[in-house]
Structure 1
Amino acid sequence: MKYKLLGRSGLKVSELCLGTMGFGTEAGWGADAATSFDIMDAYANAGGNFLDTANMYKLGTSEKIIGDYLSNQDRDYFVLATKYTLKDNTTNPNASGNNRKNMMRSVERSLKRLKTDFLDILYLHIWDDITPVDEVLRAMDDLIRQGKINYAAISDTPAWVVAKGNTLAELMGWSQFVALQIEYSLLARTPERELIPMAKHFGITVTPWAPLAGGALTGKYLRGEKGRIKPESNRLNERSESITKVVVDIAEELGVSPGNVALQWTRQQGFSCIPIIGATKVDQFIDNLKTIDVTLSDDQLKRLDEASAIQLGFPGDFFKEEAVRNNSFGGFYDRVEKR
């Protein structure tokens, strides 16, 4: 495993992140504690150090399992990320949301479940469209100054909010968001319209969740396997099947699994990207780790891009058409290296 810098920071994280939403057996699915330990062992033995969880994953069980595991490990080796926002009790109306009160309360509870004195990364989990972004960043900066978290990050939030937040943070001397967690895969490319260009501009690392689209891109639904995806999901329609068939074809050419191809595609898109890979079975996870040894050719990338292409809409398509097709900048545009 190689290491990358997370955003505009000096924090070194492994090139694949371990997602732990499946640690725990609540809701009738997931990995028990013993299996979760085995998965974390396999990850650490491969050089992985970047763990991703949240206060509400498996009603807090995910954090508890990680806390038990880290109690017998070198805590400083691991880069531990968790999230706050979602409701984790019914004791008061501020037990959810992005507000400062909930952030402080949630962090204290996460620290206890994780059996640690500090979090390496705290994500805002989901934008609530209520709390001012300056309240969020000031509170995260206070936690950083207190030594309870090391870095601020954000997830599932509109691009304009993240951009406003990092601009305010730069102006005020607060810690900026270093990572952006969003859904991104061959079946979900809409972040290419605003979120990913914004992340590139601010030097934010993208950490995609569901890079395998809930397993759809492994080809298991083409094989007739059943899963937890609802029948009406866009991961099971004609378009998703046609994209997955291209993934499977390329996997056969390379002699690797379709999951390796789908994961590697996210890593070769020209921006800082560390996909989050989750698993509830050790063999499944070990196969995902093989992604780091895969390289897609230009032709293979082109085939995947053509199969999964989306319309960027305005202004993305407008800029592309006017500047490239009509050569509106007198050839200058083509001679400038893009970010």
Structure 2
Amino acid sequence: MQYQLLGRSGLRVSEVCLGTMTFGTEWGWGADKHESFKIFESFAGAGGNFIDTANRYTEGSSEKYVGEFIESDRDHWVLATKFTLKDRNDDLNFAGNHRKNMMRSVRASLKRLNTEYIDLLWVHMWDNTTPVEELMRGLDDLVTRGLVHYVGISDTPAWVVSQANTIADFRGWNAFAAIQFEYSLIQRTPERDLLPMAKALGLAVTPWGTIGGGALTGKYLRGESGRVPDHSIRRSEHSSIIAQTVVDVASELGVTPVQVAINWARHRDQVMIPIIGASKEKQLADSLGCLSFKLPQEMIDRLNEVSKIELGFPHEFLKSEGIKEEAFGGLYEKLENHRN
């Protein structure tokens, strides 16, 4: 296991993160406590130190299990959890990014995790309601009080994240060190704005869904069942073509489709720390196998080609040759020659 710095911070985290949404069976699937511990032990044995949970995962069981598993060596682990999502029905203030829910949710998570601090607190998603200033000031207060060490944000538009970190920098508040969103060969839309924004602001990226909910393992090509509904983009005709290419590349390299899919997400010129989850220990062992090899460039090119998307406006407009020549008079070519 290699390690990376979490964005603009000095925090050292393993090159993959263990996702624990599967810890607990309250949602009708997942791992019981015994199997969850086996998964945790496998990750620890491979050198992993970065673990991700949330207040809502399996109705709180995930946080309880994680807290118990790391208790004997708490300071070794980089523990991340999240707030935003409701954890009481029919009570509006038990959800959202506002200060009241933030503080209440963090206190509840600390109790379930049986810890005095959270290493990384994620805003689980943008609520389209709370003012950015309120959110960032509240998070800064948590860091100042020592209840949280670093903050990150998940599933939020790029413009909101940019605004939030700009305000935080201007005010001298703690800014986001990392961002989390879905990213895979069948979900490449973050390449339009989220990934470039993260690179520009120095944010670490911890993508989830890198195996497309299991679609990129080839299971649906074999007619196997799963949790992904038939109408999902993960089970479309185009996704099947992508999945078949992943299977073919894996066969040629003598590895598994899971390892190819995760490795593809890791191969970018910025900090990428995939979140890998499992409901069985053998699944995690398979995913960890991605650390033992690198995808050849030719394979990356094949995967990029079969999964390519249109970046849309203004990206396609600005990169067109006609605009480059008409608007900038060969500037790009001259700059490239100068670099060479």
Report the Cα distance in structure 1 between the residues aligned to 2:236 and 2:332, rounded to whole angstroms: 43
- 1:1-339 aligned within 5 A: 1-71=1-71, 73-90=72-89, 92-322=91-321, 326=325, 328-335=330-337
Report the Cα distance in structure 2 between the residues aligned to 1:313 and 1:114, rounded to whole angstroms: 43
CA 1:307–1:148: 2 relative to 1, 3 Å: same
Contact kept? 2:318, 2:324, Cα under 8 Å: no
Contact kept? 2:317, 2:323, Cα under 8 Å: no
Shift of 1:335: 4.9
Report the Cα distance in structure 1 between the residues aligned to 2:271 and 2:335, rounded to whole angstroms: 24
Report the Cα distance in structure 2 between the residues aligned to 1:196 and 1:323, rounded to whole angstroms: 26
Shift of 1:274: 0.4
Report the Cα distance in structure 2 between the residues aligned to 1:99 and 1:42, rounded to whole angstroms: 37
Deviations 1:29-59 (A, max 9, x none): 1100111111110000100010000000001
Secondary structure class of the residue paired with 1:251: helix
Q: Structure 1 length as normaliser, TM-score?
A: 0.96
Deviations 1:58-105 (A, max 9, x none): 01110011112122x210111000000000013732100010110000
Secondary structure class of the residue paired with 1:196: helix
Shift of 1:324: 8.7
Letter of the 1:2 counterpart: Q
Report the Cα distance in structure 1 between the residues aligned to 2:169 and 2:80, rounded to whole angstroms: 23
CA 1:65–1:335: 2 relative to 1, 3 Å: farther
Shift of 1:333: 4.6
| Gap runs ≥5 in structure 1 | none
Contact kept? 1:85, 1:125, Cα under 8 Å: yes
Secondary structure class of the residue paired with 2:250: helix
Secondary structure class of the residue paired with 1:224: coil
Secondary structure class of the residue paired with 1:22: coil
Report the Cα distance in structure 2 between the residues aligned to 1:144 and 1:314, rounded to whole angstroms: 38
Report the Cα distance in structure 1 between the residues aligned to 2:333 and 2:104, rounded to whole angstroms: 56
Contact kept? 1:260, 1:294, Cα under 8 Å: no
CA 1:336–1:226: 2 relative to 1, 3 Å: farther
Deviations 1:257-296 (A, max 9, x none): 0000000001102221100000000001101001011211
CA 1:323–1:124: 2 relative to 1, 3 Å: farther
Shift of 1:28: 1.4
Letter of the 1:205 counterpart: A
Deviations 1:216-275 (A, max 9, x none): 111111111100111101111110010011111110111100000000001102221100
Secondary structure class of the residue paired with 1:178: strand
Shift of 1:332: 3.4
Deviations 1:279-323 (A, max 9, x none): 000001101001011211111111000000000001111122148
Q: Structure 2 length as normaliser, TM-score?
A: 0.96
Identity %: 54
RMSD: 1.4
Contact kept? 2:218, 2:243, Cα under 8 Å: yes
Report the Cα distance in structure 2 between the residues aligned to 1:173 and 1:14, rounded to whole angstroms: 28
Letter of the 1:133 counterpart: V
CA 1:142–1:249: 2 relative to 1, 3 Å: same
Secondary structure class of the residue paired with 2:153: strand
